[in-house]
Amino acid sequence: MNPLTSIKGSIATGFVIAIIIALAITGGWNEFSLARWFHFLSGITWIGLLYYFNVVQVPALSAAAADTGGPGGAGITKYVAPRALLWFRWGAVATWLTGAWYLGRGHNFVGAFTLGMGNDPFNPYQLVIGIGAWLGTIMLFNVWVLIWPNQKKILGLVPATDPEKAQARKVALYASRTNFILSIPMLMCMGGASHGLPF
């Protein structure tokens, strides 16, 4: 079996290589490291697709709609968007759950969501990671409560009138752009909590 011929084969091969490297270097993982690794993987999937939608797909669909002689965006909306949205919304769930696992395993879950305010002395790590966690939580809400229900109308997965589709496009776009904006400080906080803020 050639792992390059399927996405499942490629994912499985990537995991096998990562496990071999971890075993060769350290003899294995602890739960804390495993939670962090899964959080990174799921986060890259989620945020990567968020950037794809905002930087590539939405502008491409706008250009396709404006091109009266072109092929239009039917191929994207029929074949690409539903698959990308599947990975996007479940990547959001996996990112939040693995982040919660990571924070809980490090005894920082409550401290993060209270922004380190319940500690004496004050915990700056929990403040920074907590801001990132709250931004990620808002983004998860937007994915499941605003983006996905409206995308189902746009893609014709649920019945909707033309005015309802127009409203759904606006809500989904604004929620997605909000997530795009929030991802920038969220990523700064997530990385900055352990590696120092960029200022």
**b/e for 51-73, b at 16 or more Cβ within 10 A?**
eebbeebbeebeebeeeeeeeeb
In this predicted structure, what is the pLDDT of residue 70?
84
Q: CA-CA distance, 127 to 132, in Å (whole number)? A: 9
Query: How would you class 5 by CB atoms within 10 Å of its CB: exposed for 0-12, middle for 13-18, buried for 19 or more?
Result: exposed
In this prediction, the residues of the chain whose per-residue pLDDT falls under 70 are 198-199
Answer yes or no: is 11 within a domain. no
Answer yes or no: is 45 within a domain. yes
Domain holding 94, by residue range, is: 31-195
In this predicted structure, what is the pLDDT of residue 110?
95
CB-based contact 35:101 (threshold 8 Å): yes
Which strand (E) or helix (H) includes residue 183?
helix 162-195
Answer yes or no: is 5 within a domain. no
Answer yes or no: is 53 within a domain. yes
Q: CA-CA distance, 77 to 53, in Å (whole number)? A: 12
In this predicted structure, what is the pLDDT of residue 1?
79
**Total number of domains constituting the chain:** 1
In this predicted structure, what is the pLDDT of residue 199?
61
Answer yes or no: is 20 within a domain. no
Answer yes or no: is 1 within a domain. no
Inter-CA distances, 144 with 43, 68, 88, 140, 141, Å? 16, 33, 10, 6, 5
State the residue for tokens 């697709």.
49
CB-based contact 45:87 (threshold 8 Å): yes
Q: Taking CA 127 as the corner, what is the angle to CA 126 and CA 128, rounded to the nearest 5 degrees? A: 95
Answer yes or no: is 66 within a domain. yes
Answer yes or no: is 87 within a domain. yes
In this predicted structure, what is the pLDDT of residue 112?
96
In this predicted structure, what is the pLDDT of residue 72?
85
Query: pTM for this one?
Result: 0.91
